[in-house]
Amino acid sequence: MSREQRPLSALLGQGATWSGNLSFEGRVRIDGIYRGRIFTQDVLEIGSGGLVSGELDVATLIVSGTAEGTIRARERLIVESTGTVRGKIEALVLEARPGARIDATVKIGT
């Protein structure tokens, strides 16, 4: 089972707002609003209603909502058709589905 297919470890639900620093193991999904710094060696998923703003340093990032700020995806960044990414991106691999919106400075590869 790939990292992206593992069960969720945690969820910040729609209507919830949180700010601060977050680090975690496993797969976490954000459907609410999060502002701050996020670090993980695993998967961060931003749901279609989610907004994450700040500094992200993750292994894999899947964006169906909005991510803005400084984004580092050490393995892979996937921007789904409903996803928007703004800011500065550094990713080993970038996958953008048709309809995805990217307004960023982008560095791909090692």
19-51: per-residue pLDDT in tens? 999 999 999 999 999 999 999 999 999 999 999
53 DSSP β-pair partners: 35, 68
Whether 2 has a pLDDT exceeding 70, the answer reads no
Show the tokens assigned to 35: 């502002």
Q: Which residues of 34-62 are buried (b: 16+ CB within 10 A; e: fewer)?
A: beebbebebbbbbbebbbbbbebbbbbbb
Q: Global pTM?
A: 0.93
What pLDDT score was predicted for residue 91? Answer: 97
If DSSP codes are grouped into helix, strand and coil, which group holds residue 25?
coil
Q: Inform me whether the pLDDT recorded for 4 exceeds 80.
A: no
pLDDT tens column, 64-107? 999 999 999 999 999 999 999 999 999 999 999 999 999 999 99
Q: How confident is the model at residue 1 (pLDDT cuts 50, 70, 90)?
A: low
How would DSSP label each residue in 80-96?
-TT-EEEEEEEES-EEE
